[in-house]
Structure 1
Amino acid sequence: MRHVREESGFSYWLISRYAESRQALLARELSNDPRRLGHQVDAHHAYSPMANNDPPDHTRLRKLVSHCFTRRRIAALEPRAERIVDELLDSVAPTGRADVISDLAFPLPVQLICELLGVPTQDRASFGLWATRTLSVATGPRTSNERSRRLRAYFTRLIEAKRTAVRAGTPADEQPDLLSALVVAQQESGSLSDKELVGLAVLILVAGHETTSNLIGNGLLTLFLNPDQLALLQVDMTLMPSAVEELLRFEGSAGQSSLRVAVDDVEIGGTLIPRGSVVNIGLSLANRDPAVFADSDTLDLRRDPNPHLAFGHGMHFCLGAPLARMLTEKALGALLSRFSGLALAADPDDLEWRQISILCGLTGLPVSFDPEMGGT
């Protein structure tokens, strides 16, 4: 652990060891509420725009949506996920070339999340394109703030439509979409504001989308750069769950946690962090700690155990983690099994990366393969 002061004057404690990182992620003295950072949040690149809160608000809001991301619910989505992956790959199979990001990694989670949230069928194509641009494009005719406002405005209208349907007594399926369920919960408890409801919709989109799209792209590139491990996986696809965990450890998209602020003096790893201090937990550094991971700079798809912190730890563990894991397994599995001769079609040094808050992912990942070999 060390104290860092940037040229801008912004200072924080950087935690890099695994044991200290786990301790910090569990510490109730470290607030995850970005409002406590005051004016510093605008200047610091690591600030997350996601609606992070502390208990009891965090507990209340997370409880409302956590059922959507249980292992059982995600397992039930697997057949639909497989169909979406096949449809997306069918469109590029005859060409022998694809951009894994735009052709698969971005549209896959958006399509599935549309169904989870209950986005009307007639809106899904345009919404998927719109949401993808909102999350991935930093430049263009509209600023990111304008795109975010449009996204929130859409969810506001959609929630009102769900509310109208609920009030009219429109019959719901046995498993209604999440937004309808949240509208019912809002009416029954009165503890969920309209602003929080819209914020939860945006959070689910971001949590489910960014973690997945980055993991698919970053993971496949990592496999290309480690051909021995790629060959190992192609020979034994039963390694896929273990492979995804190792790809998360080795090249997870979140290099650090969202910033914490000490609301009280707290001791982490024998170091006293004074009240009011900012704490930056280096997840990628912790995941390469040789005290926990043997040959930590080596990609090992058979690594076991693998207690990485790529999705965080404790009460702020990434909400979209189960969905990201499942969709990545389906996407990588289909790419490797369907496309013979799959290879990177660009110089790795020429690939471009985008930074969205604390997350980092590729803007594109061109690949080539034997054409017509991926048809179903």
Structure 2
Amino acid sequence: MQTKPDLEPLLDFSPYRLLTEPDAVHQRMRTESPVRLVREESGFTYWLVSGYAEARQALRAPGLSNDPRRLGRPVDTANAYSPMANNDPPHHTRLRGLVSHGFTRRRINALAPRAEAVTGELLDALAPTGRADVIADLAFPLPVLVICELLGVPTQDRDAFRAWAARTLSTAAGPRTREERSRRLRAYFTRLVAAKRAAVRPGLAPDEQPDLLSALIVAQEQRSSLDDDELIGLAVLLLVAGHETTTNLIGNGLLTLLLHPDQLTLVRDDPALLPSAVEELLRYEGSAGQSALRVAVDDVVIGGTVIPRGSVVNIGLSLANRDPGAFLDADTLDVRRTANPHLAFGHGIHYCLGAPLARMLATTALGALLGRFGGLQLAVPADELRWRQISILCGLTALPISFAPVRPETSGT
């Protein structure tokens, strides 16, 4: 059993570097000891899980807690009202069971036409210019508007809600400002839940309600096991986590394709490859989550290594997704890859409930971009792009592109 921290410095987690060259240090660590005690330069010591099989085991281990308060750190502002994201069974099991009644695949599929229409409208505005910032012009507004539709945010509130979400999710403001914006967001959802409760359609099951908030209200009333704080927290979680994940997947995904023009050409020439391309982008670039932090509430054995109680565990999702023991040519982007059981959305009880929504929106956005705009290319050198890190998520602040100008198409609504 390893008990002395490995003091070898870990390789820079620069997203651009991980997109453009294999990570030799982590490759060796994964081969030699896929569960390894490491210490950062700051002195922070934790167990790094970098092997695929070991990561799957860790994500399902009941002795590893997902509650950040056990890590001795406050809950992130973005997750301050996210009871499902920050709890373990049985509390997590109860909440997830309730949410699953409203957050169904049928409901997500019903949003697809609206997602296509919104995407078309956003691209219509860009088409004649030949230039765009993919983040500001598409990857950010698309999920906000579709999540508004999912939650049932009134149409007259959506423009204000979009600007409000941008300010709330911004990393430019200080902690106090972000906290105040989060309180305002919570206050808005408190009013919206009250309005939805007054207008809920009696006699309909949760998955028959017109929007997710109404579905959760019905589930709350039927089971009496979801209080208003939890209900509002789930709405905030969907906006923050669902939006950030999807924005990063669209932005990082397009950048990855631009850095691999042969793969971009394959997808552009054969749109049937879009679903497998999105899965491969999730595996390869890790925008849905680079890692998952846990704390051992008991001694836990992962991959034959004993992790003592009280230890912090960093499950390297992006590292596990590059494990050659699980993926053929793991450091190669292959949009035609079919066997792709990646861990980008996690595994086990905390598997991302919003994964179908993120997949649908990314497929819609990338398909429309590649289908409508020829000559797509970066408008700045790739190594000049700026990144932002929010918890385990990493995305671009901007993605300037150029393309051949085209006449706008007429989009439905």
Query: Which TM-score band applies after superposition, normalised by the shorter structure?
Result: over 0.9
Matched, 1:161 2:219: no
Aligned-partner Cα distance in 2 for 1:191–1:150: 25
Question: Which has the larger displacement, 187-196 or 141-150?
Answer: 141-150
Residue matched to 2:376: 342
- Please list, as runs of the form range in 1=range in 2, the aligned pairs for 1:12-27 lying within 5 A after superposition: 12-27=46-61
Residue matched to 1:323: 357
Matched, 1:90 2:124: yes
Residue matched to 1:71: 105
Aligned-partner Cα distance in 1 for 2:189–2:210: 17
Aligned-partner Cα distance in 2 for 1:140–1:4: 30
Shift of 1:165: 3.3
Identical aligned residues as a percent: 74
Matched, 1:259 2:293: yes
Counterpart among 226, 230, 248 of residue 260 in structure 2: 226
Aligned-partner Cα distance in 2 for 1:192–1:348: 46
Shift of 1:162: 2.1
SS at match of 1:272: strand
Residue matched to 2:282: 248
Shift of 1:19: 0.5
Unmatched 5+ residue regions in structure 1? none
**How many equivalent residue pairs?**
371
Counterpart among 39, 44, 50 of residue 10 in structure 1: 44
Equivalent position amino acid for 2:351 in 1: F
Aligned-partner Cα distance in 1 for 2:202–2:361: 36
- Please list, as runs of the form range in 1=range in 2, the aligned pairs for 1:1-376 lying within 5 A after superposition: 1-38=35-72, 40-41=73-74, 50=82, 51-139=85-173, 143-166=177-200, 174-376=208-410
Question: Which has the larger displacement, 15-24 or 252-261?
Answer: 252-261
TM-score (norm 2): 0.84
Could you report, residue by residue, the CA deviation over 1:308-330 in whole angstroms, capped at 9, with x for unpaired residues? 11111111011111011111111
Shift in CA distance, 173/282, structure 1 to aligned 2, threshold 3 Å: closer
Q: Is the 8 A contact 2:54 2:303 kept in 1?
A: yes
Could you report, residue by residue, the CA deviation over 1:19-48 in whole angstroms, capped at 9, with x for unpaired residues? 00000001111111122222x458xx9x96
Q: Is the 8 A contact 2:249 2:288 kept in 1?
A: no
Equivalent position amino acid for 1:121 in 2: T
Could you report, residue by residue, the CA deviation over 1:290-349 in whole angstroms, capped at 9, with x for unpaired residues? 111122111111112111111111110111110111111110000011112222111111
Could you report, residue by residue, the CA deviation over 1:111-140 in whole angstroms, capped at 9, with x for unpaired residues? 111111111111011101211221134337
Aligned-partner Cα distance in 2 for 1:48–1:274: 27
Aligned-partner Cα distance in 1 for 2:275–2:207: 32
Shift of 1:180: 2.0
Could you report, residue by residue, the CA deviation over 1:63-107 in whole angstroms, capped at 9, with x for unpaired residues? 222244433322222111111110111111111111111111111
Aligned-partner Cα distance in 2 for 1:140–1:30: 31
Question: Which has the larger displacement, 318-327 or 153-162?
Answer: 153-162
Aligned-partner Cα distance in 2 for 1:269–1:26: 13
Aligned-partner Cα distance in 2 for 1:364–1:350: 11
Q: Is the 8 A contact 1:100 1:365 kept in 2?
A: yes
Unmatched 5+ residue regions in structure 2? 1-34
Q: Is the 8 A contact 2:101 2:215 kept in 1?
A: no
Equivalent position amino acid for 2:384 in 1: D
Aligned-partner Cα distance in 1 for 2:183–2:363: 33
Shift of 1:187: 2.9
Equivalent position amino acid for 2:294 in 1: R
SS at match of 1:91: helix
SS at match of 1:327: helix
Aligned-partner Cα distance in 2 for 1:245–1:111: 23
Equivalent position amino acid for 1:192 in 2: L
Aligned-partner Cα distance in 2 for 1:368–1:360: 23
Residue matched to 2:9: none
Q: Is the 8 A contact 2:386 2:398 kept in 1?
A: yes
SS at match of 1:324: helix
Aligned-partner Cα distance in 1 for 2:230–2:79: 17
Shift of 1:148: 1.4
Equivalent position amino acid for 2:49 in 1: I
